[in-house]
Chain A
Amino acid sequence: MKILFFILLNFIGIVSNGNPENGNELQINFRHFVGSDSLIFKTKEYVNELGQKYTVTKFKYYISNIQLINDSGKVFSSEEYFLINEDEPQSKGFSVKDVPPGNYKTLSFIIGVDSLRNCSGLQEGALDPIKGMFWAWNTGYIFLKLEGTSESSTAQGGIFEYHIGGFKEPVNAIRKISLEMDSLIFADEVPDSKKIFIKADISQILKQPVSIDFSTMPVVSDMTNAELVANNYSDMFSLIKEK
């Protein structure tokens, strides 16, 4: 029976390649850096553009509205919401399932949660308000949280805290990211599993177009400067090669 089962699976090409059970899947893995250094919480000290030293204690963000665009412009969309959290290694990789065959050139996603979901009542899973990425007094998800400490900070306890959100005018901090890929081909015949790696560079959150000064702007937790920080981090992602 066991042998028969194996043969059957092998025939449709699953076991031999360690392939997904049905449909193509794209594994997206996030790697967190500060510049060219890997992110290490608390113990490792980094320096920002203004020469201010800092450590990082929290880094979380939502990835949603993932789209894959093939060479003829056809779009495949995923409906799922993912919360990437440096504190939870398993959260830093996820699979987009049932990708149709094709030669994909562009991967796009938004950092945050779209306005429709922000206005649809209580959500579950990654969007459960228990995850701490939710503003209770002014309904809406926090798209990205970066927290740490710096001697230069003027906030109590020498901390800095950037909680970025806002999905409706006049403050819309939703940012769409598009990454160009050399080639990501899912062939027609057999379901396949591919992996890609995306670098998220925290140093980019603190610079370009605005260099963030821990002494004058240690905390962003309402919407006043949310767009400023969102503009900074909209170029923090890039594709990297990794085995």
Chain B
Amino acid sequence: MKLSYLKIVFLAVFSLIILSAFVIENPYYSISQKDVEIVIPQGFPKPVYDFRKNKMSAEAFTLGRKLFYDPLLSKDNFTSCGTCHLRFAAFAHVDHALSHGIANRIGKRNVPALQNLIWKNEFMADGGINHLDLQPIAPLTSEDEMGETLENVILKLQNDSVYPRLFQTAFGDSIVSTKNMMKALSQFVCLMISSDSKYDKFIAGKVEFTLNEKNGLNLFRAKCSSCHKEPLFTDNSYRNNGLAPDPKLNDIGRKLITGKESDLYKFRVPTLRNIEMTYPYMHDGRFNTLEEVLKYYSEGKFHSTGFDKELTKTTGLTESEKIDLIIFLRTLTDKTFLYDRRFANPL
């Protein structure tokens, strides 16, 4: 009698553990209209993205999420957007220097994090793409990434047993179009807003910074913030940060887009939000740690071809300054964003 009572208690506890695990990371987390409301965080500027042309809806977001994680979108049916954009790394490809694609192909640049995209007017490290709705076409059709044609993607989706119904529900049209597909993908990534880090809570007066964090913030504001401008931690400009070009990649940066000699080796200033999670660093992923990054900026051995004059501020950091800066940079990690169930793989 006593034994079976224990058994029941054990079973109850065991099933609770299983159940709670399921609730915490339910892959089928269903999205409500309230879940897709765009809330502009305090102190953030007005978004660049025009939501009047793509009204957020639970159905379109859910469709966008499915598309984002669906390997059907690639030529080999094995590679999805989510293959290289990992949620727990703020949608960067953690520990991979250069992008990986179908058939073991390696691309030319480090996979960027996906966050706070509605405040960007141009995309890619060279700014070659001028609208968020057009952005997915590049990785979809790049031979080094998903290697598919737009025509084929649309065909596969149209012939799928589920997608036409999802397009019908989201956009009132079961015919799969480029436009609606891109709108859905945009809705999914538009909601990726990171604004709940310790830094944000400190700015809002909700938490205190430690002495090191405070010191790091002051150093940051003196030496880094002219390019990595708060609150987005980028001024969205293109700059040559003095890295010697890798002769094997021969990446000319923004010059590829504009053809201008003055844009040689310039790349977009990346955001530093969740920077702790998005290693390796730089456009070609050459540095594995933040320590290496700060060592580089501090040493000041910049490549001679037209490096940005702001870089002179970053040189000559002491060891304790570097430590404080890194401690500050870790306050930009936003666990609310990194573990947001809305962005989990539903497949």
> Which residues in A have some Cβ–Cβ distance to B below 8 Å?
118-122, 124, 128-130, 132, 134, 136-139, 170-171, 223-224
Contact = CB atoms under 8 A, between A and B. Distances in A.
B312 interface: no
A137 B133 contact: no
The dominant DSSP class at the A interface is loop
B154 A138 contact: no
A161 to B, nearest CB: 16
9 contacts: A121-B131, A122-B179, A124-B177, A124-B179, A129-B134, A130-B154, A136-B138, A137-B138, A139-B129
Contacts of B178: 122, 124, 128-130
A177 to B, nearest CB: 25
A135 to B, nearest CB: 8
Interface in B134-152: 134, 137-138, 140-142, 150-151
Given A122-B133, A129-B137, A137 B182 contact: no
Given A124-B177, A128-B178, A137 B124 contact: yes
B2 interface: no
B205 interface: no
B130 interface: yes
Please indicate which of the listed interface residues A120, A122, A170, A224 has the most CB atoms of chain B within 10 Å of its own CB.
A122
Contact of A139 (B134, B151, B179, B258): B134
Interface in B104-129: 124, 128-129
Nearest to B258: A170
Contacts, number: 59
Given A129-B178, A170-B258, A139 B128 contact: yes
Contacts of A223: 259
Contacts of A118: 130
B142 A137 contact: yes
Contact of B259 (A119, A129, A130, A170): A170
A129 B179 CA distance: 9
Q: What band does the interface of chain B fall in when counting residues whose beta carbon is under 8 Å from A? A: 20 to 34
B317 interface: no
> Which of A128, A139, A224: most chain B Cβ within 10 A?
A139
A122 B179 CA distance: 6
Determine chain B's interface SS by DSSP, over half rule. Answer: helix
A120 B128 CA distance: 14
Contacts of A137: 124, 128-129, 138, 142
Given A130-B150, A171-B259, A223-B259, A139 B131 contact: yes
B259 to A, nearest CB: 5
A122 B150 contact: no
B23 interface: no
Contacts of B290: none
Contact of A136 (B137, B259, B260): B137
Given A121-B132, A122-B134, A129-B178, 10 more contacts: A119-B131, A121-B134, A122-B178, A124-B179, A130-B178, A136-B134, A136-B141, A137-B128, A139-B130, A170-B258
Top-5 shortest CB links A-B: A121-B131, A136-B137, A138-B128, A136-B138, A122-B133
A118 B141 CA distance: 19
Interface in B208-234: none
Given A129-B134, A130-B151, A139-B128, A121 B259 contact: no
A216 B153 CA distance: 36
B13 interface: no
B257 A138 contact: yes
A137 B109 CA distance: 13
Contacts of B137: 129, 134, 136
A136 B123 CA distance: 11
B179 A128 contact: yes
Contacts of A121: 53, 131-134
A170 B260 contact: yes
Contacts of B141: 136
Contacts of B182: 122
Contacts of B142: 136-137
Nearest to A171: B259
B86 interface: no
A138 B255 CA distance: 11
A215 B260 CA distance: 27
A128 B257 CA distance: 22
Nearest to A123: B179
Contacts of B183: 122
Most buried by A among B124, B130, B151, B260: B130
A223 B133 CA distance: 23
B243 interface: no
